[in-house]
Amino acid sequence: MNFSPGILAAFAAFAFVLVGACQFVDNESLDAGPLVTDSAAVFAALVLFGLVLPGRFGLPAQIFIAMVLGIAAGWGLAVAGRLVVVTDYLGVFGQLFLLPLKMVIVPLVFVSVLLGAAGLGDVRKLGSVGLKVTAFFLTSTSVAVFIGMMFFNVIHPGRGMQSVGDQYLAEKAAEGDAPEAKEAPALSAGMKIQKEILPQIFQNPIMVTDTDKAPILAIITLALLLGAGLGAIGERSESAIKALQAADGALITIIMWIMNLAPLGVFALMAHAIATLGFEYLQSLSVYVITVVLGLVVHAGFLIFVMVGLVAGISPARYVRAMAPAMQVAFTTSSSNAALPINIRCAVERLGVDRGIVQFVLPIGATANMDGTALYTAVATLFVAEVLGIDMTTTQQLTIFVMSIVISIGTAGIPGGSIAMMGLIYDAVGLPLEALGLILGVDRVLDMCRTTVNVMGDSIGAAIVARFEGRPAVAPSGVT
């Protein structure tokens, strides 16, 4: 840990200037008491999440700690009557996490979906293997989303949170975000930073994200068609695909940079949620987690007992034993890409699936087959809408169903990759991006679970395709 006087002085100066400038703009004066205490709170957050935690914990642990501390800070500051610290000052850090994500969402989805479509090759020459892989991916992902939406509509984890939703919408109206807001009160200086200044800095200059100007489904459709076109022209597309792969890698790198801000962002957003919505929100959040996990467990059961046992013709017990190391890596890393090498090795050496089919299916599946992610995004979107008291029409639920499937194709196989994609669905159904703060605190735990299901789906798809290609999986000698 680097506690150099220069860094500490920079943090202290930033906290003092932020609080002092906002206080002066709002009140045309400075109050020494709140100026010192509020600056100290911001300074403590910067030191904790900028210096202390990164030197001692990995990112998953930092996010979990941030969630817990955010709950405590939100409650404590609300009780102390210093809600302004949460909304105006710490809220800046929440926006510094969310807005850069929003800035890269559309380019990342466009490039990732395009490459996923191009990776299938010429659709006219896919052959039996390619067609079977495509059919399995679409079927399994559709089933996953259906299961997730079914569990949501049975459990309704956000039910009973109408007062929370009303409070949230009232707050957005006061900030000038709600469409129905008329003659809203003037924004405080801290809110102007979050709602006017930062959005001007972190906006996408290449592809607009306003759905009134650029319909998201149209962007995805163009990506699919252009990807299919590049796949169809064969060798002539190599230079373009290489350039797009470089762009995809650069965008993923940017996402990883932004994710380093996740602990501070989650802390600020969780503190804001608790301070403004109360502990009732936590109860609903726990039911939401249970809903997602139940959906993932049921879908995993469908994959293992139906797809593996009946379709692939492999004993479910043998499958679980053979693929356990890959599932363990997926769970601990929350990354389909990190689990890919061991997933290939287990599928070939322990499960006995044909190597050629495995090496074709699994790399594509690591980016284009995200059952768990699709299920999660559907449930998460419906949950946020329900908490906010927004009834999703049949058309909107159908939009969520389709977009959860399509966007899962372009989700990066990295920890937290789906967070960057959620904003697109939110835009499509009219939810505010800031509502991501309602679910970010528990995302890492759910990320571990859904990544495990994602990785399972890839190896199961390879086993099924191999069987229908006349090359069924055969357990290697010494493996049962």
Burial of 372 (0-12, 13-18, 19+ CB in 10 A): buried
Q: Which amino acid is at 32?
A: A
111-148 residue pLDDT tens = 877 876 776 665 555 567 778 888 898 999 999 999 99
Percent of the chain residues past pLDDT 70, beyond the cut: 84
Closest to 350 (Cα-Cα) out of 462, 232, 453, 450: 462
| Candidate ranges 188-202, 259-273, 282-296; pick with highest mean pLDDT | 282-296
Q: Give the pLDDT score at 121.
A: 61
Q: Binning pLDDT at 50, 70 and 90, where does residue 204 land?
A: low
d(CA 28, CA 37): 19
Res 277 pLDDT > 50: yes
Type and span of the H or E element at 24: helix 5-27
Task: Pick from 104-113, 354-363, 371-380, 431-440 the range whose average pLDDT is largest.
Answer: 371-380
Cα distances (angstroms) measured from residue 177 to each of 168, 174, 216, 372: 11, 8, 21, 32
Q: Mean per-residue pLDDT for 323-333?
A: 88
pLDDT tens-digit profile of 22-75? 877 877 667 777 888 888 888 888 888 888 888 888 877 888 888 889 888 888
Average pLDDT over residues 80-87: 82
Residue 259: both structure tokens together: 């994710």
Global pTM value = 0.73
Question: 460 near 141, Cβ under 8 Å?
Answer: no
Task: Compute the distance between CA of residue 147 and CA of residue 379 in angstroms, rounded to an integer.
Answer: 10
Provide the token pair at 131: 């067609």
Task: Say which residue, 175 or 190, is predicted with more confidence.
Answer: 190
pLDDT for the residue 213:
46
Please report, for residues 18, 33, 41, 217, 449, the alpha-carbon distance to residue 36 in angstroms, rounded to integers and kept in the order given: 12, 5, 9, 49, 43
How does the average pLDDT of the chain come out, rounded?
Answer: 80
